[in-house]
A and B are shown apart, each in its own frame.
Chain A
Amino acid sequence: MTYRRIRWLKFTAPANFYALVQRLAPWLWAGAAVLAVAGLYTGFFVAPPDYQQGNSYRIMFIHVPTAWMGMFLYLLMAVYAVIYLVWRIKMADIMARSLAPTGALMTLLALWTGALWGAPTWGTFWVWDARLTSTLILLFLFLGYIALHAAVDDREKGGRAASLLALIGAVNVPIIYFSVEWWHTLHQGMSITLTQAPTMAPSMFTALLLMTGACWLYSAAVTLRRAQAEALERESDSQWVTEAVQREHALRQPAAPAVRAVEPRGAISKEGDS
């Protein structure tokens, strides 16, 4: 128990965190890629067309995971915000700040795919459906956090203010969801409602789970990488940054091709893994 606790706290030091991500990231990218390929294969070649919606329902395999990720990332961001506010652990603010852009993008993608799914299913790109509306508000909450963090010149102050905002937002999210749901049921004039297929074929469910896993691993990889970059920026004058850069500089000469195959995105693969 104590052993474990020490291990966790170890990664609150930027140097250890950096080293951990350096090892972890290739596996996260690889896992995301594998799950995405498996999920897309299942979603497009195994799962049958829906008996009501035809093939348009296949948007679900990215719509639902992105919507879930948006909410999950906001919650996670709020958790890191609380950690930062209570214990002033710098890494927690770095993590919260790194989660926000990915969370906003996931929410945006959920809205976009929702609109494109709605067009053939409901006959319109946008309805003031309860879930669509509350997802839109979630996007505003993300944007507010990002804007506040960026607007304060003092990084430490900005981090604390934005963390407090994330906490206020997290307390409000359930109230917002509840009220929007209530608002929607009161407006009974609306004839269009989201009709979920009553029973989902097992292959559809498998594809959905695989794609959710892929989105989760992708978000983990991209946020951890962003947190690394943020840590490098903030700590650029400290000893560990110099050492890490030199170590990777030396590693770069005998380039590691195995990592490159997993990470197709140029510069990210360059630093090689441990």
Chain B
Amino acid sequence: MWDGIGDFIAMGGHGPYVWGSYGVFAMVLLAEVSVLARRRHRIRTILARRSSPGAASTWNQKQEESLEP
């Protein structure tokens, strides 16, 4: 159906619109996932440090590291 890669990218003259849509779509979803991943990572790191052995005495540290975003 497509006449080589150039034809595919051109999209019959509508390339900027089509790729602008799909590009932003992909970028927004990737951004959402990576923001979420970072949030989960942060929570996990804090929680793991809290529950690791020897953390019982670090009550102050626990107070410092708020989980509130």
Contacts and interface: CB of A to CB of B under 8 A. Distances in A.
Interface of A: 44-45, 48-49, 54-56, 58-59, 62-63, 66, 101-102, 105, 108-109, 112-113, 116-117, 119-120, 218, 222, 225-226, 228-229, 232-233, 236, 241-242, 245-246, 248-249, 265-268, 270-271
A267 B37 contact: yes
Contacts of A222: 32-33, 36
Given A48-B1, A249-B48, A267-B41, A226 B17 contact: no
A270 B36 CA distance: 13
B21 A113 contact: yes
A49 B21 contact: no
Contacts of A119: 17
7 contacts: A48-B1, A55-B18, A56-B18, A112-B25, A116-B17, A242-B51, A246-B51
Contacts of B44: 232, 245, 248, 267, 270-271
B24 A109 contact: yes
B68 interface: yes
A56 to B, nearest CB: 4
Interface in B1-46: 1-2, 8, 11-14, 17-18, 20-22, 24-25, 28-30, 32-34, 36-41, 43-44, 46
Given A109-B24, A245-B47, A56 B32 contact: no
Given A109-B28, A226-B36, A55 B12 contact: yes
A229 B18 CA distance: 34
Contacts of A62: 21-22, 25
B55 to A, nearest CB: 10
A31 B62 CA distance: 39
A93 B33 CA distance: 21
A105 B28 contact: yes
B11 A56 contact: yes
A116 B43 CA distance: 38
A216 B13 CA distance: 31
Interface string B57-69: 0000000000111
Contacts of B1: 45, 48
Contacts of A245: 44, 47-48, 51
Given A45-B1, A58-B18, A233 B43 contact: yes
Given A101-B32, A245-B44, A265 B37 contact: yes
Contact of A229 (B22, B24, B29, B40): B40
Given A120-B14, A245-B51, A265-B34, A233 B40 contact: no
The 9 closest A-B pairs by CB, nearest first: A267-B41, A56-B14, A267-B37, A55-B11, A55-B12, A113-B21, A54-B12, A245-B47, A116-B17
Nearest to B22: A62
A112 B21 contact: yes
Given A108-B28, A229-B43, A120 B17 contact: yes
Nearest to A44: B8
A56 B17 contact: yes
